[in-house]
Structure 1
Amino acid sequence: KTCMEKIVENVRKFNIQGLLVIGGFEAYEGVLQLVEARGQYEELCIIMCVIPATISNNVPGTDFSLGSDTAVNAAMESCDRIKQSASGTKRRVFIVETMGGYCGMAASILTFILQANVEHLTDKMKTDIQRGLVLRNEKCHEHYTTEFLYNLYSSEGKGIFDCRINVLGHLQQGGAPTPFDRNYGTKLGVKAVLWMSEKLQEVYRKGRVFANSGDSACVIGLRKKVVAFSPVTELKKVTDFEHRLPQEQWWLNLRLMLKMLANYQISLTEYISGTMEHVTRRTL
């Protein structure tokens, strides 16, 4: 039997009338596959809701996934410790790799928190104190890997400063949830259950549940400061399945501000879209 047939068999066996799925991009993609199989399997005409929970923050239909705020805070604490470690030496550069897949929200937000400033960094490297911290998302570039940057800095800085690699890895997945994530998780859980209860009453006919409309399978999330439900069939149109993320993300619009804070010589009239370059095939 195929995986889908086994799922249908268990839905029928246990008389499942609704699915509340908590997870990352796989959870969203899995529910989408179940919805698309409704035409073949009537048992899948049930209520489905996805609560996005992943540090990668790459689930379409929400600006924030559960755990992403905690992951950013965990990465911030690690970077602070690395900076404190660097203060014990005058000549050392750290290359820090953050998790997140193709979604670089953690690395981008950390540049605000850690006050990245390329002009200040280059001026400081001209003095007798040559310390620096370079942030890199794990999949930001196919060829400019963390190992490549390490070799580059080690070679160019030979005799001037030494270089160290720090891959945060699963450190970002540990620790107690932040107050934001705790409150956010409670709200999503309550609203998801209430929504499913209302939907079950709407589609309950002749002693059984039959839900085949698009809005019977949704992703719940925070969109523009409002908790909203987005049908997975509509989200499919704005999803990059190759890179496992939404085609547009709010934090990409912060890049212009990042350049300004880092003292890049840019035009104040420049506009940076929230669309991913690797989706539109544009260069940086």
Structure 2
Amino acid sequence: MSTARNIALITSGGDAPGLNGAIAAIAQTPGVNLYFYHGGFDGIIEQDPVAISPMTAREAVLQGELLCHSGRSTYMLHEAGQKRVLEKLKQDCMDALIVCGGNGSAQGAKALSASLPVAVVPMTIDNDIGGSEYTIGHDTAVNAIADSLHRLRQTAANLPGRIFMVETFGGRCGQLPLAAAVAASADIVLLPEYELNIDEFITEVQARSARGKSVIIVVSEGVYLNKRFSAGDQGVSFALARALEDSTGKRVRLSILGYTQRAGDPTSYDCLMAKQMGKCAVDALLNGEKATLAALKEGHVKAVPLTAIDQPPTLAKEFMKLAFNENQLIQLEG
């Protein structure tokens, strides 16, 4: 085994419930001294490391609030900043770094891997990291969105003939809205992977609304009509709602779930996945691996080369089949 014992950990980018399970698994590994830097990559430079005890980590597994605070980085955008991160970790006597986050965070870890052993624990509700079939926080977020859709279904039954639209997170990947729409049996789901013909969309909603029942539409934030999506953009549903209202004469009941999707205590599945991924990451470092992604592959968590993050994310085939079966994917009809 390698001599790596002082292991630094950061969370980077958007937060996601469940990560405390990964932290607990790492902290409880024999021979490991685990240290946090709050604030992501920038926190490594700007703050002192904080030791975390195994008991403290274990007691926080079921909490939605993360033990290690996240942050977005400016230093990692250029080589000079990356050098400062490495120098600070060396100054603090850190033997390795575990980065918990999404695509951008994983790319930052890869940039450091030539000079320091690193492992990535995939953490984002979007479930959009290439090389892994799952990312921590996704299941909790799907449950939160599905719960909102179930509640809308109840009020829709009391007020038939209405049009409801719910905008979700997900960025450029449709995994999150797809899973939630299938789980909650929404009527239509719009995904960023496919072009949206606004006229066909309006015609389909009109046809379904004419049947007398309410229509529930799930819209990914990444479904943009006249411009490219940028991280952090929200509000595409306003344009879609206006187009529907102008054509149908019906008011669209609009909900943008926003940051509530990233909040809440984690599901048991997220706790289990987080513990497995955290243990996988720390074991890889202790075994001398230099650049690792703790990934879910074919139902098993395993260490894969960090270069796997360069693979494009794909929509879950089994969910796509279910969505086709329920006529939710109007972008692919015709």
Could you say which TM-score interval applies, normalised by the shorter chain? 0.7 to 0.9
1:166 to 255, 261, 266: 255
2:136 to 58, 62, 66: 66
Distance 1:261 1:87, change over 3 A: closer
Amino acid at match of 1:168: L
- Find the counterpart in structure 2 of residue 19 from structure 1: 97
Distance 1:48 1:26, change over 3 A: same
- Find the counterpart in structure 2 of residue 219 from structure 1: 293
Structure 1 vs Structure 2 CA RMSD: 2.8
Q: In the alignment, is residue 259 of structure 1 matched against residue 324 of structure 2? A: yes
- Find the counterpart in structure 1 of residue 82 from structure 2: 4
- Find the counterpart in structure 2 of residue 275 from structure 1: none
1:48 to 100, 118, 135: 118
Kindly report which structure 2 residues correspond to 1:13-162, keeping only aligned pairs within 5 A, or say none: 13-35=91-113, 38=114, 44=115, 46-116=116-186, 125-127=209-211, 129-143=212-226, 145-158=236-249, 161-162=250-251
Q: In the alignment, is residue 197 of structure 1 matched against residue 286 of structure 2? A: yes
Partner SS state of residue 94, structure 1? strand
Partner SS state of residue 91, structure 1? coil
Partner SS state of residue 191, structure 1? helix
Q: Distance in 1 between matches of 2:284 and 2:300?
A: 15
Q: Distance in 2 between matches of 1:117 and 1:95?
A: 10
Partner SS state of residue 74, structure 1? helix
Contact 1:97 1:137 in 2 (8 A): yes
Amino acid at match of 2:223: C
**What fraction of aligned residue pairs are identical, expressed as a percent?**
23
Residue 103 (structure 1) shift: 1.2
Contact 2:182 2:319 in 1 (8 A): no
Gaps of 5+ in 1: 39-43, 200-214, 239-246, 266-271, 273-283
Partner SS state of residue 162, structure 2? strand
Residue 5 (structure 1) shift: 2.5
Q: TM-score, normalising length from structure 2?
A: 0.62
Contact 2:162 2:213 in 1 (8 A): yes
Q: Distance in 1 between matches of 2:248 and 2:256?
A: 21
Amino acid at match of 1:134: I
Contact 2:162 2:209 in 1 (8 A): no
Q: Distance in 2 between matches of 1:143 and 1:87?
A: 34
Q: Distance in 1 between matches of 2:328 and 2:128?
A: 29
Q: Distance in 1 between matches of 2:159 and 2:175?
A: 30
Residue 256 (structure 1) shift: 4.2
Runs of 4+ in 1 over 6 A off after TM superposition: 120-123
Contact 2:103 2:309 in 1 (8 A): no
Distance 1:123 1:155, change over 3 A: closer
Gaps of 5+ in 2: 1-78, 189-203, 228-235
Residue 13 (structure 1) shift: 1.0
Amino acid at match of 2:210: K
Residue 126 (structure 1) shift: 2.9
Residue 116 (structure 1) shift: 4.2
Amino acid at match of 1:219: L
Instruction: Name which one, 1 or 2, has greater alpha-carbon Rg.
Output: 1
Contact 1:91 1:162 in 2 (8 A): no
- Find the counterpart in structure 2 of residue 230 from structure 1: 304
Amino acid at match of 1:261: E
Q: How many residues align?
A: 231
Deviations 1:45-103 (A, max 9, x none): x3210001111112222111000010000000111112222233233211111101111
Q: Distance in 2 between matches of 1:126 and 1:234?
A: 47
Deviations 1:225-273 (A, max 9, x none): 121222123543x2xxxxxxxx2425156434422332889xxxxxx9x
Q: Distance in 2 between matches of 1:13 and 1:82?
A: 54
Q: Distance in 2 between matches of 1:74 and 1:234?
A: 29
Amino acid at match of 1:139: G
Residue 117 (structure 1) shift: 5.0
